[in-house]
């Protein structure tokens, strides 16, 4: 089970839509003082010069290996995670400086140390959260890097790292889910949804999961969801009615909605009096500005959290990474890798994600 005490440090809310602060592409070469003999000077990387469709993801075969600066580690990525948020930066829905290497997480080996990176050494197996993940090497902040415990595979960590930390912080802090709560979770078969369904059931919540298509629904059911709705089927199109039926007409205590544009109105209907809606993504497009009086009739609370708002301090980051690693090590949390794609196939990964073809987490082999 989860530990009940949160980190003591103050938890600050992050600004709307600013999950991460993308850094510009680092183009300087490794200085001789930090160079490890086995580190090359160039690498393969996917660079985005301008916003657009998946075609803007350009493979570069001799991109400069970044130099780890103050507080950074140079990490040779064994595997990188691909998240829906990467598509927002690609399209420009979330603004970021270009040129840019997308990819907000990776797992691999420390190849070189920048100044002030105590606690790490070359050769450590680590996972990191930052930017520039679609590449063979990433200069990641040591403050957002953790050692991977013995016994856990890089792939399982990447299938649950950014997504799992998101889920854990949202069910613990955004809305502290209680045993017996009715929870409506959209996109329950996705990278985050697959993990959240399991975690909600571990807490003892009653889960209504939505997903598109029979295969995805069967997967969600296999995770223990109490009610599963195929919101793309004829019957499931009226998912609000089905949610009301399942909850004796009352509605759910909390909705976790990462679909956004297509579901927000239904989510507002499906939540109970004094309930909470946690909007945390825009898979179908952003939620339009909502007039506040719409919340009055049922005294509804709305939250719009981001993972990084909950892991800003080292203490918070370690709290949630320990929580995640314990769940993985004990077998309480299973991962599902949709597929491991070679770096060269990155456009296909984005097509598959945006085309709703993935279940669980797509990973990238740099
Ligand atoms: N706020 C944060 O800090 C934070 C952190 C992590 C993730 N997120 C958000 O959580 C969501 C899930 O992220 P993920 O990486 O795990 O992705 P994902 O859930 O694996 O993929 C998105 C899923 O959304 C559903 N979807 C519904 N309408 C869609 C549409 N019009 N186009 C595409 N997909 C649609 C699809 O599932 P069905 O086919 O089953 O409908 C699709 O598989 C995203 O919205 C992401 O931005 C937010």
* pLDDT tens-digit map of 37-58: 589 999 999 999 999 999 999 9
- From the CA of 277, how far away is ligand 1's center (Å)? 16
Mean pLDDT of 149-173: 98
Return the bridge partners of 141, or none: 72
**Where does ligand 1 bind, in terms of residues with CB under 6 Å?**
19, 83-85, 163, 166, 187, 189-193, 211-212, 216, 258-259, 262, 280-284, 305-307, 353-354, 356, 358
**pLDDT per residue as tens digits for the range 166-180:** 999 999 999 999 999
Q: Work out which ligand 1 atom sits closest to the CA atom of 258.
A: 45
Euclidean distance between CA atoms 114 and 73, whole angstroms: 6
- From the CA of 347, how far away is ligand 1's center (Å)? 17
Nearest to 317 by CA among 70, 129, 86, 68: 129
The dihedral through the CA atoms of 145, 146, 150, 151 has a sign that is negative
Euclidean distance between CA atoms 209 and 220, whole angstroms: 7
Tell me which of 17, 349, 356 to substitute to probe ligand 1's pocket, judged by most ligand atoms within 8 Å of the beta carbon.
356
Query: Beta strand pairing status for 361-365 and 206-211?
Result: unpaired
- pLDDT confidence bin for 78, thresholds 50/70/90: very high
Nearest to 26 by CA among 82, 112, 99: 99
* Per-position b or e across 300-321, b if 16+ CB within 10 A of its CB: bebbbbbbbbbbbbeebbebbb
* Per-position b or e across 220-238, b if 16+ CB within 10 A of its CB: bbebebebbbbbbeeebee
Q: Work out which ligand 1 atom sits closest to the CA atom of 163.
A: 6
Mean pLDDT of 117-131: 97
Give yes or no for a cis peptide into 302 (omega within 30° of 0). Answer: no
Q: Work out which ligand 1 atom sits closest to the CA atom of 309.
A: 3
* Per-position b or e across 176-196, b if 16+ CB within 10 A of its CB: ebeeebbbbbbbbbbbbbbbb
Mean pLDDT of 147-166: 98
- From the CA of 246, how far away is ligand 1's center (Å)? 24
- pLDDT confidence bin for 5, thresholds 50/70/90: low
What would the two tokens of residue 361 be? 């987490």
What would the two tokens of residue 56 be? 């803007």
Cα 352 vs. chain centroid, distance in angstroms? Answer: 16
């Amino acid at each position: 089970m989860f530990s009940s005490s949160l980190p003591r440090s103050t938890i600050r809310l992050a600004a709307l839509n600013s999950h991460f602060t993308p850094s510009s592409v680092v183009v300087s070469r490794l200085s001789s003082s930090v160079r490890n003999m086995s580190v090359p000077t160039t690498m393969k990387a996917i660079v985005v010069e301008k916003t657009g469709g998946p075609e803007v993801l350009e493979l570069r075969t001799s991109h400069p290996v970044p130099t780890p600066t103050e507080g950074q580690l140079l990490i040779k990525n064994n595997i990188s995670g691909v998240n829906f948020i990467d598509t927002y930066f690609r399209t420009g829905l979330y603004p970021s400086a270009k040129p840019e290497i997308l990819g907000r997480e990776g797992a691999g080996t420390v190849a070189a140390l920048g100044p002030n990176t105590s606690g790490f050494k070359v050769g450590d197996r680590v996972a990191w959260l930052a930017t520039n993940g679609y590449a063979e090497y990433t200069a990641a902040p040591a403050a957002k890097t953790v050692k991977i415990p013995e016994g856990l595979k890089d792939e399982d960590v990447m299938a649950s790292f950014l997504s799992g930390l998101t889920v854990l912080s949202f069910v613990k802090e955004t809305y502290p889910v209680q045993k017996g709560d009715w929870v409506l979770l959209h996109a329950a078969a996705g990278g985050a949804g697959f993990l959240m369904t399991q975690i909600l059931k571990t807490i003892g919540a009653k889960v209504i999961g939505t997903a598109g298509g029979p295969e995805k629904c069967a997967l969600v059911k296999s995770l223990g969801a109490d009610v599963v709705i195929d919101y793309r089927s004829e019957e499931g199109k009226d998912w609000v009615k089905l949610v009301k039926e399942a909850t004796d007409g009352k509605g759910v205590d909390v909705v976790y909605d990462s679909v956004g544009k297509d579901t927000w109105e239904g989510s507002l209907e499906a939540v109970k009096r004094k309930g909470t809606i946690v909007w945390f993504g825009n898979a179908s497009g952003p939620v339009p500005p909502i007039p506040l009086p719409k919340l009055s009739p049922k005294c509804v609370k709305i939250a719009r959290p981001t993972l990084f708002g909950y892991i800003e301090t080292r203490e918070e980051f370690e709290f949630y990474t320990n929580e995640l690693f314990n769940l993985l090590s004990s077998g309480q949390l299973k991962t599902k890798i949709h597929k491991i794609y070679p770096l060269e196939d990155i456009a296909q990964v984005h097509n598959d994600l945006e085309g709703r073809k993935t279940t669980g987490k797509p990973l990238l082999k740099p």
